[in-house]
């Protein structure tokens, strides 16, 4: 089993990651929600690991969740029911802002692309 982030032998500082905020969606893309329990620091740390690793992701999309109890985790407002069928909570999903991250030219370097709503 690969441990992509969070091994007990590494100090991640103040970074925190909630499993309900991590969603591999296929084609080399991973969505990660940033909300109550997942910090931006953790998202960038994960992106650096998975984008620069053999067999890792090609793109990580960071989803800034609105500050609302209804938006505790990404999987509570956006879930795949089948390969082409989603369940969404529109009131919350419409408020999410996203930034894509791609591997930069050098090891550990990340290129950011902000998406307009």
7 inside domain = no
Range(s) of the domain holding residue 95: 19-114
90 inside domain = yes
91 inside domain = yes
pTM for the whole thing?
A: 0.88
Does the structure show a pLDDT above 80 at 117? no
Structural domain count of the chain:
1
Percent over 70 (pLDDT), the chain? 92
Question: What distance lies between CA 50 and its chain's CA centroid?
Answer: 11
Q: Is 100 exposed, middle or buried (0-12, 13-18, 19+ CB in 10 A)?
A: middle
- 87-112 per-position pLDDT tens digit: 999 998 899 999 999 999 998 899 99
Q: What pLDDT is recorded for position 12?
A: 72
3 inside domain = no
Does the structure show a pLDDT above 60 at 19? yes
The mean per-residue pLDDT over the stretch 6-14 comes to 73
29 inside domain = yes
Cα distances from 94 to residues 8, 28, 55, 58, 116, in angstroms, run: 36, 24, 32, 25, 12
Q: What pLDDT is recorded for position 7?
A: 67
1 inside domain = no
Percent over 90 (pLDDT), the chain? 57
4 inside domain = no
13 inside domain = no
Does the structure show a pLDDT above 90 at 53? no
């Amino acid at each position: 089993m690969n441990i992509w982030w969070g091994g007990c032998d590494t100090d991640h500082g103040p970074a925190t990651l909630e499993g309900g905020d991590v969603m591999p969606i296929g084609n080399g893309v991973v969505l990660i929600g940033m909300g109550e329990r997942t910090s931006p620091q953790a998202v960038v740390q994960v992106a650096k690991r998975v984008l620069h690793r053999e067999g890792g992701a090609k793109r990580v999309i960071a989803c800034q969740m609105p500050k609302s109890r209804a938006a505790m985790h990404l999987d509570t407002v956006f879930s795949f029911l089948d390969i082409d069928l989603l369940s969404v909570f529109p009131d919350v999903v419409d408020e999410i802002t996203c930034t894509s991250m791609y591997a930069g030219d050098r090891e550990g370097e990340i290129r950011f692309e902000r998406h307009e709503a």
